[in-house]
Amino acid sequence: MISFDTSILVYAATEGTDERHLKAAGLIERAIRSQRCIQTLQSLAEFYNATTRKAGIAPSRAAAFVAGWQRVIPVAAAEYLDLEHAIRAMGEHGLSFWDAMLWATARRGGAEVLVSEDFQDGRSIEGVRIANPFVADGFAVIDAALHA
């Protein structure tokens, strides 16, 4: 099972033909088809905020992306224990607060791989492997998770 960090969702929604857009959009499509994906409510909320405030995407279009993903990808909302685990992970693993919340919620939701370019590629945090889709090793980890 995999989960996508906010930046990957932003790349997928940002129109263009650059490598990051094409890889992100392709990975999300593959994850949906494989039914081996869970998304956090936090990343969907951050996506909406980032795309409407910084990426110049119209609110209605950003909302359509969110609604579309919610229809086809199970969404995990943070729970009290996720907060507890996030606070602990900040100290034990040196994560920022919001990264720790994303990790804790994705982990509870069953994610074995967190797709992100913001975390340290290849790092494993309590059973969740971080994979950057824009480097060869990260892409191979994601590919394996989608075929598990």
Q: What is the CATH number of the domain that holds 65?
A: 3.40.50.1010
Q: 26-35, 114-123, 127-136 — which is least confidently predicted? A: 114-123
Count of helices and strands (H, E) across the chain? 7, 6
Tokens of 41: 């409510």
What is the pLDDT, as a whole number, of residue 138?
Answer: 81
Mean pLDDT value across the chain: 93
Range of the domain at 136: 2-146
> Helix 6-13 crosses helix 41-53 at what angle (to 10 degrees)?
50
Total domains, the chain? 1
